Amino acid sequence: MPIFKYIGYKEDGSEIKGTLEADSTRDAIMKIKTIGIYPKDIIKTAGFRKNIFGVKRLPYILPAITRNLSTLLSSGVSMIEAVEALALEQKSQWRDILTDIKERLSAGASLAKAMQAYPSIFPEFYISMVSAGESSGRLTEVLSKLADFLESQETIKNKVRTSLIYPVFMIFISIIILSFLFTFVVPKITKIFEGTSASLPFITKILIWISNVFHKLWWLIGALVIAGLLTYKRLKETKRDIIDTLLLKAPGRILQSLYISRFALTMSFLLSGGLPILQTMNLSAKVTGNITLENKIMTARGLVSQGARLSNSLEGFPPTFLQMVSTGEQSGQLAEVLKRAAAYYEVEFERKLQRLTSLLEPSLILFMGLIVGFIVAAVLLPIFELNQLIK
């Protein structure tokens, strides 16, 4: 049964907080009222299924739900009926979420307020746009734009995943092959040389040493790999600013193009939705995905709040981008110019990504060729030397 956190008031006017179990939000409200408490806010905190790692499923279907909701509302369906219809189409977690939102709407909450109970599902910018749409009476249009925006972001992510599948697969296979060679194959070959009294070439000694390390200390190698992954995870949590700064300076500044495209597209989207520029900068900074860039945007936000121009406040951004922003400010079409800038940097990111992946394939083949050549040379050299001694 779901668990609800509530904030309410007693009969004497004093505030009280607590938790209780209930079948639904409406049931929770009734239970709270029966104990003499007037509910102020109720949030569902538990009861949804999680995956094997204890993490809620990512909301991959949010763009589709957003578009369907926009379509239903534009067709004249009431908000409560539209959300209920969407809930019936979903399964498990999403059905529970939409059902709970419907109950909150029935209790008098706005759509934005109902969505605030699920910050891990509905991003802050999403809720802000829904709230602005409700206030302006343009909710259907806002939901349609939200669906377009979310779909474009998902398209970029899919392009990145697709481009990296083959290189990652090649690296994984290479690691497996090398581990198998050095752990099982090479030790059997090098045993031929270990029993001879002849002096072995230096390259063969290196091969034997590497083979012994893999064969006898495989557990240590595994432990070091796990320790490295845990250390990276720890650094990402505690020193994320350092890691994100290094990511911005990655070869070709490929990720910088991605972050700028994401920032520009979000800014354009929120500005066109009627949000003020300071709130837009605050929300856009959070969706860039890079803490270093986020800090620079927030610093610029402080300067803009004091009257500075956006193009003069964004430190560390490419001159081309700043010039485009300046042009948009002067023409009064900042949202449209940012949209064009986002498209430009998205194309630039795709071009850099394609170039990187096209270089990775021959690099991996060359690397594997060098390793195989090293093994062959280390095995054949002592054989040739033994043949010379026999002659």
pLDDT in tens, 358-370: 888 788 888 888 9
Q: Tokens 């972050």 sit at which residue?
A: 259
305 and 366 in a single domain? The answer is yes
187 and 327 in a single domain? The answer is yes
Percent pLDDT > 70 in the chain is 90
Q: Is residue 255 part of a domain?
A: yes
Six-digit token string for 17: 């907080």
Q: Is residue 21 part of a domain?
A: yes
98 and 142 in a single domain? The answer is no
Task: Specify the pTM.
Answer: 0.67
43 and 142 in a single domain? The answer is no
Q: Which residue has the higher pLDDT, 201 or 192?
A: 201
Of 94, 122, 150, the residue that ends a domain is 122
Least confident of 100-104, 113-117, 193-197, 355-359: 193-197
Domain count, the chain: 3
Q: Is residue 297 part of a domain?
A: yes
Which CATH number is 281's domain given?
1.20.81.30
pLDDT at residue 3 in the model: 65
pLDDT at residue 332 tops 80: yes
| pLDDT tens digit sequence for 37-61 | 877 777 766 444 444 333 344 446 8
Q: Which helix (H) or strand (E) holds 307?
A: none
Six-digit token string for 223: 């432990």
113 and 174 in a single domain? The answer is no
| d(C-alpha 276, C-alpha 289), whole Å | 22
pLDDT at residue 136 in the model: 79
63 and 41 in a single domain? The answer is no
Mean per-residue pLDDT for 199-217? 82
306 and 214 in a single domain? The answer is yes
Which CATH number is 27's domain given?
3.10.20
pLDDT at residue 19 in the model: 67
91 and 231 in a single domain? The answer is no
DSSP 8-state assignment for residue 66: H
Of 77, 92, 122, the residue that ends a domain is 122
Q: Is residue 133 part of a domain?
A: no
What is the edge-to-edge ordering of all strands in the sheet holding 3-9?
A: 15-21, 3-9, 38-44
| d(C-alpha 315, C-alpha 309), whole Å | 12
111 in helix, strand or coil?
helix
pLDDT at residue 189 tops 60: yes
| d(C-alpha 165, C-alpha 91), whole Å | 29
Structural domain including 279 reads: 138-391
pLDDT at residue 150 in the model: 86
Least confident of 65-74, 172-181, 294-303, 309-318: 172-181
Q: Tokens 């940012």 sit at which residue?
A: 338
| d(C-alpha 32, C-alpha 10), whole Å | 10
Q: Which residues of 99-118 are buried (b: 16+ CB within 10 A; e: fewer)?
A: bbbbbbbbeebbbbbbbbbb
105 and 195 in a single domain? The answer is no
Q: Is residue 294 part of a domain?
A: yes
Percent pLDDT > 90 in the chain is 18
Six-digit token string for 67: 């578009």
238 and 381 in a single domain? The answer is yes
Q: Is residue 304 part of a domain?
A: yes
Six-digit token string for 291: 């803490």
pLDDT at residue 70 tops 60: yes
